[in-house]
Each structure stands twice: as C-alpha cells, then as structure tokens.
Amino acid sequence: MFREIRYYLKFATQRIVQCFGITKHPESGDYAIMLTHTGETLSSYIKSNKSLNFKRRMILLNCIASGLNSIHERGLVHRDFHDRNILIANHQSGGIYPYIIDLGLCRKEDEKDRNEYYGLPCYLPFEHFEYGQYKRPSDVYAFVINDKWLKFKEDTNLPSLLVELIKLCCDRNPLNRPSTKFLENITERWSKDVGFYGEKYVNKTSKFYKQYEEMEKKENKNYNY
C-alpha cells in the first residue's frame, strides 16, 4: 500500500487521482488511503450518454492519453488499465474531466516484481502471454482495446487516420505501437482540427478535418434518409 501512496504523490495533474494522505484505524491498525474518488466510471458514463458526439469522444480519448502519458513519463507502467479504473468527474466550470485511478499494480517498467498479477486478462497484450512481458507498449495496447468505451469500434464511419491509429496501437509487435506522448499530441491536434477548442483552432486544410467532414456528411445523409 505504501508503494501505491508513493506513486500517487508523484503526480500533480488532474488526469491522475489525487492522494491527500493516509489514516489508520485506532483499533484494527488497518490503513486507508484518502483519495479524490468522485464521478462515475467511464463505461457507466458512456452508457448514460449514448448520444455522445465525436468531438466529445475525441477529447475524452485525449485526456485519457494525457493521464497515461503522465505515468509513462515517470518510467512507470499502470498494468491494470481498463474502464473501471477511469472516472469521469464534473468540473466546476461545468464541463467534465476524466482521470485515472488505482495505481495498486503500478510498477517501474524495469522493476522485477514477484507479483505476476497484471489486471484483467482480456486487456493483456500478446507479449504478456508469450513472454511474460509487460512494458509501456502493453499499456498502449490496453488503451486501444478499451476504445470500446468510446464506441469507436462500434462506429464503422470513422476518419481513416483514427482507424489506422487504433490498428497501430494493437499491433502484435509492441515496438510498432506509438508512445503515449504521441497519442496525447495527435489526439489533441485532431480535437483542435475539428473544433472542440473553438473555431479559431479549426484547421479545415488538415487531412483529419477533411475526413471528419466526410464522416459528418455520411451521418447526416443516413439520418435524413
């Protein structure tokens, strides 16, 4: 538990759950961690917001990538990255923000750990089953496997650049997967291109915007039909 607390205290970003300290039960001697657990899980949020538009899904993807990159920049791997370990909270500005929780299985990437438990099997990559390996590219694999949270896999009408990125993230060779820094940067740029941050950031000449515009036309055509 104390290892987990040390990891929480490394972060000063709203993309990672904040730790305010620990408390000890006077009789049992058990410890408890005081964390900012507010909001609902990402899967629950998606279920209750079925009409979530593409721009909103993209910015959620960007925020999640940013949080995961914060972990990787410190030489750590999450090792238990799935929908119940991402919470969506209401921001005081009226918006929402997602953040990553549960660093209980988080470890340094090069750390030899006797604990061979790495979270839910359905989110583990090929290399874990073949070589017992779990490094930063393994978190990237879990990140894209979890894109079902945002209904990207259910959507057959997507910008081809996004489809290519999804495929690259789950490449069988972990060395071919992009870094979380790349994921953070590219999803932020695409979110700006399509206007999530306002009209002044829209880039109508970008390839992603043109693909997004074509996607919107197809959706409107199907809706009108």
Whole domain around residue 27: which residue ranges? 2-224
From the number of C-beta atoms within 10 Å of its C-beta (0-12, 13-18, 19+), residue 170 rates as middle
Structure tokens at 104: 């209980």
pLDDT digits (tens, 9 = 90+) for 135-187: 999 999 998 876 555 666 556 678 999 989 988 998 999 999 999 999 999 99
From the number of C-beta atoms within 10 Å of its C-beta (0-12, 13-18, 19+), residue 64 rates as buried
pLDDT value at residue 222: 56
pTM comes to: 0.86
Provide the CATH number for the domain around residue 84: 1.10.510.10
Do the Cβ atoms of 159 and 166 come closer than 8 Å? no
pLDDT digits (tens, 9 = 90+) for 59-87: 899 999 999 999 999 999 999 998 889 99
Please tell me the number of Cα atoms within 13 Å of 59 on its side-chain side.
17
| Phi-psi sector, 171: left (phi>0), alpha (psi -120 to 50), beta | beta
Do the Cβ atoms of 98 and 132 come closer than 8 Å? no
Domain count, the chain: 1
pLDDT value at residue 120: 77
Structure tokens at 60: 């959620």
